[in-house]
């Protein structure tokens, strides 16, 4: 470091030579696991064992028969890595101190994250505090929801505070740092895309958390109108019941019918009975 009056000028390291660059590329894309291509392994500080990535660690430890031994690796706590090429253990760094290999074409010192496959568009979000994939230009961070979303959802989604810092209501995996894609439903709640698709395939159209409709159900409600009009209930079942609408949260009354009860405020059949208007005779 050189001192220039009251200013300090930090000496910049010289650019790597061609030989050093060739050495850094040794083994690129040849090492790693099912989750990532990388040229190092992590020593987990929680159990002092070595794994290629945090997902490998979590899968192994969460499969233990003793529930008390199950745990997950906190990525930011990793202090030591092991070079996959020369097997040298060392402090977290971008390049091996022994053989000069670059551990990953993408490297985040904060997340202790390495990946040789740069086609994923990795980037670190300071607000999330973790690395994301998909390209920084394609995402924005929603302060209220507490997570990164596609730019298509900017000013185009219902915010629910810290909605991503919850578990998927279908598979119960924590959403915030899940490697699976997520989707935001009309109600603002989130779940995995694949779980949402499977839920729809099972003809479940309500949010598992708040019970609001997650799809445009107007066509279904029109078909129910016609079916109910064509299916008269026997005389002894012609009485009113009190209902609560899951979609607009209004209460009201509707004539009892086995096929459903229509909300008079929003025309939804996504309702539930909360009592009978009159006891049937």
pLDDT tens readout for residues 64-104: 999 999 999 999 999 999 999 999 999 999 999 999 999 99
d(CA 24, CA 157) in angstroms, rounded, equals 44
Whether pLDDT at 1 is above 60: no
Cβ(259)–Cβ(226) under 8 Å? no
Whether pLDDT at 139 is above 90: yes
- Residues 34-74: tens digit of each pLDDT: 999 999 999 999 999 999 999 999 999 999 999 999 999 99
Cβ(121)–Cβ(131) under 8 Å? no
Please state whether the predicted TM-score (pTM) of the whole model is above 0.85: no
Query: Could you give phi then psi for residue 26, rounded to 5 degrees?
Result: -60, 130
- Using 50, 70 and 90 to split pLDDT, how confident is the model at 6? low
Label the pairing between strands 240-245 and 271-276.
antiparallel
d(CA 51, CA 58) in angstroms, rounded, equals 10
If DSSP codes are grouped into helix, strand and coil, which group holds residue 193? helix
Cβ(95)–Cβ(104) under 8 Å? no
């Amino acid at each position: 470091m050189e001192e220039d009056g009251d200013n300090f000028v930090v000496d910049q390291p010289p650019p790597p030579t061609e030989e050093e660059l060739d050495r850094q590329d040794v083994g690129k894309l040849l090492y790693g696991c099912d989750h990532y291509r990388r040229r190092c392994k992590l020593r987990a500080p929680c159990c002092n064992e070595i794994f290629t990535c945090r997902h490998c660690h979590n899968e192994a430890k969460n499969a233990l028969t003793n529930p008390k031994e199950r745990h997950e690796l906190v990525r930011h706590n990793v202090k030591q890595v092991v070079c996959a090429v020369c097997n040298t253990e060392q402090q977290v760094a971008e390049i091996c101190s022994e053989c000069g290999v670059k551990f990953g074409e993408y490297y985040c010192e904060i997340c202790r994250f390495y990946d040789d496959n740069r086609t994923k568009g990795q980037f670190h979000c300071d607000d999330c505090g973790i690395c994301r994939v998909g390209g920084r230009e394609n995402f924005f961070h929603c302060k209220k929801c507490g997570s990164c979303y596609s730019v298509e959802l900017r000013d185009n989604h219902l915010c629910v505070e810290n909605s991503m810092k919850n578990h998927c209501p279908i598979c119960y995996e924590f959403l915030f740092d899940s490697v699976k894609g997520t989707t935001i439903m009309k109600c603002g709640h989130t779940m995995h895309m694949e779980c949402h698709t499977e839920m729809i395939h099972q003809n479940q159209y309500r949010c598992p958390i708040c019970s609001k409709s997650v799809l445009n159900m107007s066509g279904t409600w029109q078909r129910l109108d016609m079916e109910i009009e064509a299916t008269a209930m026997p005389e002894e079942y012609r009485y009113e019941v009190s209902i609560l609408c899951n979609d607009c949260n209004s209460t009201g009354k509707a004539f009892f019918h086995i096929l459903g009860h229509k909300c008079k405020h929003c025309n939804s059949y996504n309702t539930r009975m909360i009592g009978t208007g009159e006891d049937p005779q």
